[in-house]
Every structure is written in C-alpha cells, then in structure tokens.
Structure 1
Amino acid sequence: MEELGLETSSIVDNELEELFELSLRMFDTRLPPGVTVLSPFAEDSSLTKVAVEAITATSTKKGDLILGEIPSQIKNKGITVDVKANSASNVITTITADEYAAPGLKTIFSFAVPDQKSGKVELQYLHDYAGINASIGLTANPVVNLSAAFGNSALAVGADVSLDTATKNLTKYNAGLSYTNKDLIASLNL
C-alpha cells in the first residue's frame, strides 16, 4: 500500500481483501440478514483489522487558491476502486474490472458526488489488431459514445461517434485512415 501513499498496519494475513471488503461495505446500503445496525467499529469490522497510518495528499497553488486532492486506491482480483476527494468538495469514484468477463475486456463505472449527472459506464476491448470503446452516461437522456480502431503496422482505420439521446443528434463524428511503410506515412482524417 506504500505505492499509494498509504502506510498500513494489519492484524490479518489478507490485508488487501479486508480493505476491499471495507470499501464494499462503505457503499452498500443493505444490511446482512438479521442485522439491524451496522457499526464500522464492531469486532469483526475491517476497520479493526487494518489501520491506515498515513495518507498522502497533493495540492497545487494557482494564484491565491490552493487546490488539493486526497486519492485512495484498492485492488483485489482484477477489480480496482479509486476514490478521490478534492478541495471542491467532490468525491470522484471509479470502479474498474480488468478482464473480469473476458480477456481484453475492461469495464469501468465512474461517478462523482454530489454531481448526479456524472455517472458513466464504459466498456473497453483491446486486442492486438483492434480496439473498441463504448460508453453511456447514467442519466435520463444519456450521451452514447462509440469508438473503434482496427489495423496493423501498415494500415489502420478508425471512427468515433457520439449520440445525444435527448436531441437524437450526432454530436461528434470522426473517422481516420492511416498507411505506414518505411518510406511513407500518410493519413486521412474526416
């Protein structure tokens, strides 16, 4: 955990699993069967098994303002949870599942609190000769993005399209073609 700027001490062998369980409990509003009150300081709580001894914060000074951020990250079995709190009173959370459902597939869920319109789900697929990205906002009238690129070291083609479902209009559309050899690099972008 030191590479994240966190120094921890633990009384259990599976420290990362305990931290991951703690993050799940923090965002889960359901109580286990038979439990009426959930205390983060109960004997079986992850908080009593793993302690954070130090947290690293970063800041930037712009004029008279100091902008700061406190990041944290928990990784467990291909799932990464990133939580950042900043000086604008926003908490930005990103949950990433790497190759959880299929090789080369990454699933990303992100949102910011208190911005209720910031939620987004994204799927990314990466292969030796192809890359595909699809995302949709988690709002009543979301923007849908789709981009793809296919090719090899000599020839590549790609496109990027965004659809605003509220207006039913394409808000962004780009396409490109590239040809490369040892004497020439040519591309066409639309």
Structure 2
Amino acid sequence: MPQNKRYTQDEILFIKSNVKKLSVKEIAEKLDRSPKGVRSQIERLNIRLSDYERNKPHVWTDEELNYLKDNYKVVSDKNIGLYLSLPESVVLRKRLSLNLRKHKYVPYIQANYYRVYVDKKRYWLHRFNAEKKIGRQLLPTEPVHHIDGNKLNNSLENLYVCSNKQKHGYIHASLESVAFELVKSGLIKFDEDKGEYYL
C-alpha cells in the first residue's frame, strides 16, 4: 500500500481503539503501513503515546539490576529480556547506560568456529590460541587442525598447526584411512538400515 495514501476512517478508528494495547509497530503491521507513518498519524490525532503505561520507561528493580549485572557477560540481551519479561531493546539500553559492555571478551560462533574480540580486533579463536601455542603469528597459508574433530574445542592440546592446506588434507585422509582399518577389524561397524557408522 502506498505510504502517502490518506488514512481511511476505519484505519483511524482502528488506531484509536488499539493505541493503548498495541505498539506502533504492531498497528503498522495490521494496517500495512510504515511505523513512521502510523506514528505521524497518531500525532495528528493529538494522541500522546507517553501517556500510556506501556510506553513509559521501565523502572528497574534491584533484583532485575542484579540479574543483569551478574549475567550480561554470558547471556545475550535477548535471553535476559526473556527471563525478565522485558524487550531486548530495554535490556540493551540499560546495560549500555550502566557501561556494562560485553564486546571483546565473549566468544561467539560464526561459520561453525568461535570468534572473539581482543583489544578491539576480531580473531578466529582457534587461530588465536594456536599462535599462543607455537609462540608466533600464523601465516595465512597455515591452517589449524582440530585433533578431536570438534571445531569448538580450542584447547591448546587440541590444536595442530599445519604447514599448508595440503598437509591439512593429508591429516584428514589419514584419519579416514585409520577409520577404515577399524571397520575392517570390527571396532567400527556400519548400520545398513540407518546408513551410518557406529562404534
């Protein structure tokens, strides 16, 4: 629907009937209008959103504040909001107002690997830890192999620096070769019904 189209009497009635219980975004979705357009129409109707309790700033209790302070480093704003029955945006604003910043020290998963911020720079955690292990910066051509196959296990003993991609490929091929030897010896079996190997 074109956003510059005049509001019908039915739309205006809908806004007046629902402004106390629905957010601007929810009203906009119901009317197939933009939130900005709906907010402008509400202003033209001389309706003050701030008069409604749900639009007033949330007053944080000591219990809520303590939960936020105790958990912001390891729990997302969204999940804190779900626990406290608050919108994620309310949690975010309060956290930032208290200068509770989770930026660099909380690893997050991207493309099945952990990433982490250190001194405002972003690193792949497995490469960052591998550099600690060998005592130097990795070359871009040096892949890091996860010995147990778990890409999220970045303990130093689980990381092996390969000299190049070919070496990394050789390691995976050697694992497959060993696995097939275990199949031959009966230690690994194949389930034909499920189409998968098992111990």
Tell me which structure has the larger Cα radius of gyration: 2
Higher helix share goes to which structure? 2
Question: What range is the shorter-chain TM-score in?
Answer: under 0.3
**TM-score when scaled to structure 2?**
0.22
**TM-score when scaled to structure 1?**
0.22
Higher strand share goes to which structure? 1
